[in-house]
């Protein structure tokens, strides 16, 4: 009897659809089909491959409301957030195509009469295992450069957003040649089998434990592995800060997507000088936010357990009353007097909680920002940019923003340090992660 996966509406808990889970025994055959398709796909030019993708993205744009509503229901985003996710990536496609094409253009170096050409060839078959929090954005980010490079893909969306993953693949497969993109339905068992299969590259965004298992498995065959494994991002509020700007950023970055963002602000570090007014303005802004849904009950229970632990250890809840929130919904929570002996200061929360810690000075703020094993992003707000830059260079995070989010301008890598990642994507160097480098000298 075929096993079924129940696809749930994150907002209501109702079953939207039951899907047949891909048998583990079938994955080897699926990957073999990808290898067959890859031979022809790699022979096309990058312009030809990009044209297939352009046509597919036109159909996404034409079905904007329908696709957004599916994200709204299965993942739980608000409709504005769902629409925003789709628009960001569809509108950014041309820029990505341009970036990838430039990155993969052969380079020539000369020495005397000798000339060496560096080529960026396709790798083969890519296993793309994506998370549920950005169910279009993450597949787009990790699959488009790979397809443009001439790889074929076996795509396993998170079991929490399988309907969205299938819909996204369906848009693409209206135009892509057969078996260039295939989808595996399932959870950990299917992901493990896919990593163990004859794939040349694995991209994964998710838990640190799973990421380390993937890296260990991939090492046996020297597979290329790209991992993003979570964060515990800090916001440092300097004494000379524009409080309105800092509190606005903190509100957006703590609560967007119900806090389910890898670079959400999860610890806010502010001195006594600005503490009270910062808290006041943050609470004022957070009260006006639309209440959103977490992905499932398990995630909500995790967030509630962290809040409960913090309250027992002395944190003060100045906004929020989780007892009033039904199903997977959770209103914004603001905690003050948060200390580094609390779980919520150490482990990733992935929920709508702003945690504020009063620090003695910038040195103390840097110390707390760097505590823990995660090092994905951090943000500093302050008017003295030179001082802020000096603070930034003392932080261990892979991405640091000053008076803005931690992501860089177009062409910059998306990169975590420490236990937050392994390899990276974005930028010329990141796009080349999806290729095999070869040189020819004559």
Express each pLDDT in 243-274 by its tens digit.
999 999 999 999 999 999 999 999 999 999 99
Query: Could you give the angle at the alpha carbon of 331 between the alpha carbons of 326 and 334, nearest 5°?
Result: 140
Contacts with 65 (C-beta within 8 Å, 6 or more apart), sequence order: 83
Express each pLDDT in 201-224 by its tens digit.
999 999 999 999 999 999 999 999
Contact 233, 399 (CB under 8 A): no
Residues above pLDDT 90, as percent of the chain: 99
Quickly count: other Cβ atoms within 10 Å of residue 4's Cβ.
Answer: 12
CA 97 to CA 74: how far, in whole Å? 29
CA 90 to CA 56: how far, in whole Å? 10
**Residue ranges covered by each domain of the chain:** 4-229+420-441, 233-402
Residue 381 has pLDDT above 70, yes or no: yes
Q: Which CATH architecture has domain 4-229+420-441?
A: 3-Layer(aba) Sandwich (3.40)
What's the chain look like in SS3?
Answer: CCCEEEEECCCCCCEEEEEECCCHHHHHHHHHHHHHHHHHHCCCCHHHHHHHHHHHHHHHHHCHHHHHHHHHHHCCCCHHHHHHHHHHHHHCHHHHHHHHHHHCCCEEEEECCEEEEEEEEECCEEEEEECCCCCCHHHHHHHHHHHHCCCEEEEEECHHHHHHHHHHHHHHHCCCCCCCEEECCCCHHHHHHHHHCCCCEEEEECCHHHHHHHHHHHHCCCCEEEEECCCCEEEEECCCCCHHHHHHHHHHHHHHHHHCCCCCEEEEEEEHHHHHHHHHHHHHHHCCCCCEECCCHHHHHHHHHHHHHHHHCCCEEEECCHHHCCCCEECCEEEECCCCCCHHHHCCCCCCEEEEEEECCHHHHHHHHHCCCEECEEEEECCCHHHHHHHHCCCCCCEEEECCCCCCCCCCCECCEECCEECCECHHHHHHHHEEEEEEEC
CA 82 to CA 64: how far, in whole Å? 10
Contact 8, 163 (CB under 8 A): no
What is the mean pLDDT of the segment spanning 434-440? 99
Contact 423, 226 (CB under 8 A): yes
Instruction: Determine phi and psi for 192, rounding to 5 degrees.
Output: -60, -45
CA 234 to CA 369: how far, in whole Å? 5
What is the mean pLDDT of the segment spanning 86-105? 98
Express each pLDDT in 310-359 by its tens digit.
999 999 999 999 999 999 999 999 999 999 999 999 999 999 999 999 99
What is the mean pLDDT of the segment spanning 59-75? 98
Express each pLDDT in 176-197 by its tens digit.
999 999 999 999 999 999 999 9
- Pair type for strands 152-157 and 107-111: unpaired
Query: Is the pTM above the cut of 0.95?
Result: yes
Express each pLDDT in 133-149 by its tens digit.
999 999 999 999 999 99
CA 94 to CA 4: how far, in whole Å? 38
Residue 171 has pLDDT above 80, yes or no: yes
CA 147 to CA 139: how far, in whole Å? 11
φ/ψ bin of 378: left (φ > 0), alpha (ψ from -120 to 50), beta (otherwise) = beta
Contact 195, 167 (CB under 8 A): no
CA 330 to CA 297: how far, in whole Å? 11
Q: Tell me, what's the pLDDT at 292? A: 82
CATH of domain 233-402: 3.40.309.10
Residue 1 has pLDDT above 80, yes or no: no
Task: Report the mean per-residue pLDDT for the chain.
Answer: 98
Residue 2 has pLDDT above 90, yes or no: no
Contact 185, 158 (CB under 8 A): no
To the nearest 10 degrees (0 to 180), the angle between helices 46-62 and 79-91 is 150
Length of the chain: 442
């Amino acid at each position: 009897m075929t096993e079924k996966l129940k696809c749930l509406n994150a907002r209501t808990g109702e079953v939207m659809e039951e899907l047949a889970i891909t048998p583990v025994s079938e994955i080897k055959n699926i990957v073999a089909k990808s290898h067959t398709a890859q031979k022809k796909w790699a022979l096309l030019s990058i312009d030809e491959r990009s044209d297939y993708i352009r046509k597919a993205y036109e159909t996404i744009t034409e079905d904007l409301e329908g696709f957004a509503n599916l994200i709204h229901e299965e993942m739980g985003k608000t409709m504005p957030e769902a629409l925003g996710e789709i628009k960001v990536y569809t509108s950014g496609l041309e820029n990505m195509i341009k970036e990838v094409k430039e990155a993969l253009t052969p380079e020539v170096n000369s020495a005397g009469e000798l000339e060496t050409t560096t080529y960026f060839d396709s790798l083969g078959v890519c296993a793309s295992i994506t998370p549920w929090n950005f169910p279009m954005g993450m597949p787009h980010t990790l699959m488009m450069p790979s397809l443009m490079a001439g790889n074929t893909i076996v795509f396993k969306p998170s079991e929490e957003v399988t309907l969205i993953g299938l819909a996204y693949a369906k848009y693409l497969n209206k135009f892509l040649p057969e078996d260039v993109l295939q989808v595996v339905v399932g959870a950990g068992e299917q992901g493990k089998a896919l990593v163990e299969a004859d794939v040349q590259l694995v991209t994964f965004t998710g838990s640190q434990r799973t990421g380390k298992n993937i890296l260990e498995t991939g090492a046996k065959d020297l597979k290329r592995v790209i991992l993003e494994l979570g964060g515990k991002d800090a916001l440092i509020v300097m004494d000379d800060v524009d409080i309105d700007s800092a509190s606005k950023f903190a509100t957006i970055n703590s609560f967007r997507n119900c806090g389910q963002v890898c670079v959400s602000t999860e610890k806010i570090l502010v001195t006594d000088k600005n503490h009270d007014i910062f808290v006041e303005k943050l609470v004022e802004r957070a009260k006006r936010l639309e209440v959103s849904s977490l992905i499932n009950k398990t995630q909500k229970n995790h967030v509630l357990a962290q809040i409960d632990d913090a309250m027992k250890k002395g944190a003060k809840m100045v906004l929020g009353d989780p007892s009033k929130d039904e199903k997977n919904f959770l209103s914004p929570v603001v905690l003050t007097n948060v200390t580094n002996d609390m779980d919520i200061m150490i482990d990733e929360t992935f929920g709508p909680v702003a945690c504020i810690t009063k620090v003695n000075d910038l040195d103390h703020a840097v110390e707390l920002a760097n505590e823990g094993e995660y090092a994905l992003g951090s943000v500093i707000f302050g008017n003295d940019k030179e001082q802020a830059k000096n603070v930034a260079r003392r932080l261990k995070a892979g991405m640091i923003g000053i008076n803005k989010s931690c992501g860089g301008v177009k062409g910059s890598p998306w990169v975590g340090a420490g236990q937050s990642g392994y390899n990276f994507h974005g930028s010329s160097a990141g796009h080349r992660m999806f290729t095999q480098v070869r040189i020819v000298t004559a």
